[in-house]
Amino acid sequence: MKIGIDKMGFATSQYVLQMNDLAQRRGVDPDKFSKGLLLNALSIAPITDDIITLGASAADSVLTEEDRAAIDMVIVATESSIDQSKAAAVYVHNLLGIQPFARSVEMKEACYSATAALDYARLHIEKHPQSKVLVIAADIAKYGIGTPGESTQGAGSIAMLISAEPHILELNDNTLAQTRDIMDFWRPNYSTTPFVNGMYSTKQYLDMLKTTWTEYQKRFGTSLADFSAFCFHLPFPKLALKGFNKIMDKSLPTDLQEKLKENFDKSILYSQQIGNIYTGSLFLGLLSLLENSQNLVAGDKIAFFSYGSGAVAEIFTGKLVNGFRDYLQPSRLEALKERTVLSVADYEKLFFEEAELDEKGNATFTDYKTGPFALKEICDHQRIYGKSND
């Protein structure tokens, strides 16, 4: 039975910070961001947009009534959790109107957990072929004003509907993970922003890529020559480019090397305009590849490198299925231009705003622009969500 990604939805915030503006304000050469990191802009979420609103918006954009009736598991993969106990998936399940007899759960391991969620979903469908699983990767990457990580922030969500006989990508069951107990990036419960050993994290990312890929090829008797594209976790596109160069096999025919590079360039287009969306960024890369590459055809194989700090990495692969383009949108680059551009001063206020609770645990918010769903208020310590125009 073929199991894989049937549909993909995407959402990001309605506000954007241009890297050139940030560079100017921080006294940095703009080339450091545009060439050194390969980043042009970052999506900036206001307080009324969080993993629930972004995750629900991404899924809502692709789900039919039939899907909502067939989904029996909702998984939200995130490291920007809004509650230590209640799963984000429970809120999302309600906002999307998914039938009640479903399991809803949240998963965490930095940027990696959506990959584990995909595998869990695949195994679930293997047992229950009529059902569908909704996997949502949603995060807001916030490092802090003036920190080295500030230029690699972002906000967004990818939703993937996993089913039998999928319309986009069939997942292969040859997966290989690697775990290393390291402190490259972590966020203790008492901190709203992460602690980061930036340079160390980039070295670990590249070494986990090299060692996992070497072992993957050995175990499954495959090589780069079998693939049309390689998608990477995208904390910032330049690091993925370094990863791409690391795994490139210079003995491959030149036309294949060129095709792989062309597809790599397409896979980073969205990320260059959005920044890091943590758990979703690998899949944002896939969406960008599929919606912008002209050279892919059904049957083409794609390899994926998932990396979450702490650290867990995984390599897995998939195969494009017939008619995959019918289940995608044309390039979304034009739509991204519709986001409201923030000055650096406004970004500093809007991105780092915290709810001001009164003594009863209530808070109200400015009516910021969001997608179809918004955090309306906090009432008695409960977050209240609804349609943004209600």
Residues that bind ligand HMG (CB under 6 A): 29, 31-32, 35-37, 79, 110-111, 148-149, 151-152, 184-185, 196, 198-199, 201-202, 205, 233, 235-236, 239, 276, 278, 307-309
Q: Closest CB to ligand HMG among 18 and 152?
A: 152
Q: Which of 111, 124, 167, 231 is catalytic?
A: 111
CA distance 161 to 318: 15
- CB of 120 or CB of 143, closer to ligand HMG: 143
Q: Among residues 6 and 79, whose Cβ is nearest to ligand HMG?
A: 79
Point out the residue whose Cβ comes nearest to ligand HMG. 36
User: Is 314 among the residues known to form the active site?
Assistant: no
Active site (annotated) includes residue 111:
yes
Least distance (Å) from ligand HMG to the CB of residue 200? 9
CB of 180 to ligand HMG, least distance (A): 12
Angle between helix 19-26 and 344-351 (nearest 10) = 100
Q: Pairing between strand 3-12 and 154-164?
A: antiparallel
Alpha-carbon dihedral of residues 164, 166, 169, 174, nearest 10 degrees?
10
> In the complex with ligand HMG, which residue's Cβ is closer, 166 or 237?
237
Task: Give the shortest CB-265-to-ligand HMG separation in angstroms.
Answer: 17
- Report in angstroms how near the CB of residue 276 gets to ligand HMG at its nearest: 5
Determine whether 79 is an active site residue.
yes
* Token pair in block for residue 204: 């670990």
DSSP 42-100: EEE--TT--HHHHHHHHHHTT--HHHHHHEEEEEEE-SS-S-SSS-HHHHHHHHHT--S
Please state the closest distance from residue 196 (CB atom) to ligand HMG, in A. Answer: 5
- Asked if 388 and 374 touch (Cβ cutoff 8 Å), the reply is yes
Contact 233, 305 (CB under 8 A): yes
| Catalytic pick among 79, 109, 150, 291 | 79
Which residues are tagged catalytic?
Answer: 79, 111, 233
